[in-house]
């Protein structure tokens, strides 16, 4: 006989075994991106097509550099988690594990590359 | 007890077409997934371009030639539409999560709002940054 109450057993679980943490993270990053994306689209759109000096001048300024840095980290986390959901829907077993690991690694690599470029330009 | 019989059932995303009539609610949801995941292509091109700018004059010349070619224009224009679509569909998701707009007429209107709104915002953004 179990002395756990029904509520105790349900807490922090669900089919994912970690409750709604994934969904909540996606909501938080979605709100962050809702603020970042329009600003960044303007920064990037205005910089694209310029000379190298103009591009370096843009991303050396604090505001464009900070927005781009935030977008890289928040955006690539949001991508990794969203892509994970897609992979979980369509694949199983070892293929699923390899694709999820691959997409998380790719996301960090893209974020790190972008941050490295920013540091070189802005600092 | 009899051994459970494995039945080969069609899985969710492959139901549309042969089993389910395509509807605004399902198509606008699938488009959210496609646009969100496809955006990685535009991001890769943008980050490569930024890395090249940070590296050297010669490297930037190569990356900038690609980023501003017809191919770059195609990738960035499609990405721009994709990001605006995903943006509006994401806001719709937050609205749905709040328990609102879930009746069919409203959900269908919101789907059209995402599609039409994303095209309008794409055109406005291109005009603004030119």
Asked whether residue A94 is assigned to any structural domain, the reply reads yes
Subunit contact B51:A79, Cβ cutoff 8 A: no
Q: Do B60 and A113 touch (CB under 8 A)?
A: no
B54/A116 Cβ within 8 A: yes
Tokens, residue A102: 């691959």
pLDDT of residue B16: 75
Domain-located, residue A68: yes
- Per residue in A40-58, pLDDT (tens digit) is 999 999 999 999 999 999 9
Cα A117 to Cα A85, A94, A122, B50: the distances in Å are 29, 34, 9, 6
Name the 3-class secondary structure at A2.
coil
Residue-wise pLDDT for B39-78, tens only, equals: 999 999 999 999 999 999 999 999 999 999 999 999 999 9
Cβ proximity of A76 and A110 under 8 Å: yes
Q: Which member of B51, B60, B129 has the closest CB to residue A46?
A: B129
CATH number of the domain that residue A91 is part of: 1.20.1300
Q: Is B85 on the interface with A (CB under 8 A)?
A: no
CB contact under 8 A, A44 and B46: yes
As a whole number, the mean pLDDT across chain A is: 92
- B41-129 belongs to which CATH class? mainly alpha
Cβ contacts of B129 on chain A, cutoff 8 Å: 41-42, 45-46, 48
Distances in Å between the alpha carbon of B57 and those of A45, A53, B51, B53? 20, 9, 11, 7
Q: Which pLDDT tens digit goes with each residue over A83-106?
A: 999 999 889 999 999 999 999 999
Number of structural domains found in chain A:
1
ipTM score of complex: 0.89
In a domain, A8, yes or no: no
Q: Pick the residue of A48, A64, A96, A108 with the most B CBs within 10 A to test the interface with B by mutation.
A: A48
Residues of B in contact with A79 (CB under 8 A): 36-37, 39-40, 43
Q: Which domain holds residue A60?
A: 25-122
- Model pLDDT, residue B1: 55
Residues of chain A in Cβ contact (below 8 Å) with chain B: 27, 30-31, 33-34, 37, 41-42, 44-46, 48-49, 52, 55-56, 59, 68, 72, 75-76, 79, 82-83, 86, 89-90, 106, 110, 113-114, 116-118, 120-121
Specify the pLDDT at position B5: 72
Q: What is the pLDDT of residues A21-37, one digit of tens each?
A: 899 999 999 999 999 99
Q: Look at residue A6 and tell me if it is in a domain.
A: no
The domains of chain B are located at 41-129
Q: At what angle do helices B24-55 and A93-122 cross, to 10 degrees?
A: 40
Look at B37 and A83 and tell me if their CB atoms are within 8 Å: yes
């Amino acid at each position: 006989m179990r002395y756990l109450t029904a509520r105790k057993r349900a807490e922090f679980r669900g089919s994912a075994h970690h409750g709604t943490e994934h969904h909540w993270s996606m909501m938080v990053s979605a709100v962050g991106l809702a603020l970042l994306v329009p600003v960044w689209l303007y920064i990037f759109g205005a910089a694209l097509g310029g000379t190298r000096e103009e591009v370096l001048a843009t991303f050396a300024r604090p505001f464009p550099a900070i927005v781009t840095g935030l977008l890289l980290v928040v955006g690539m986390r949001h991508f990794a988690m969203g892509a994970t959901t897609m992979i979980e829907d369509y694949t199983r077993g070892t293929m699923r594990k390899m694709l999820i690991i691959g997409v998380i690694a790719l996301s960090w690599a893209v974020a790190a590359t972008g941050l490295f470029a920013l540091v070189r330009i802005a600092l | 007890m009899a051994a459970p019989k494995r039945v080969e059932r069609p899985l969710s995303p492959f139901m549309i077409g042969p089993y389910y009539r395509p509807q605004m609610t399902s198509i606008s949801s699938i488009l959210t997934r496609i646009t969100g995941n496809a955006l990685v292509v535009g991001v890769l091109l943008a980050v490569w371009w930024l890395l090249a700018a940070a590296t050297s004059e010669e490297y930037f010349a190569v990356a900038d030639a690609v980023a501003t070619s017809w191919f770059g224009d195609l990738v960035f224009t499609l990405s721009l539409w994709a990001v605006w679509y995903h943006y509006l569909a994401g806001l719709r998701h937050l609205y749905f999560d709040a328990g609102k707009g879930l009746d069919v007429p409203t959900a269908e209107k919101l789907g059209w709002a995402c599609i039409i709104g994303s095209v309008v915002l794409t055109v406005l953004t291109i005009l603004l940054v030119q």
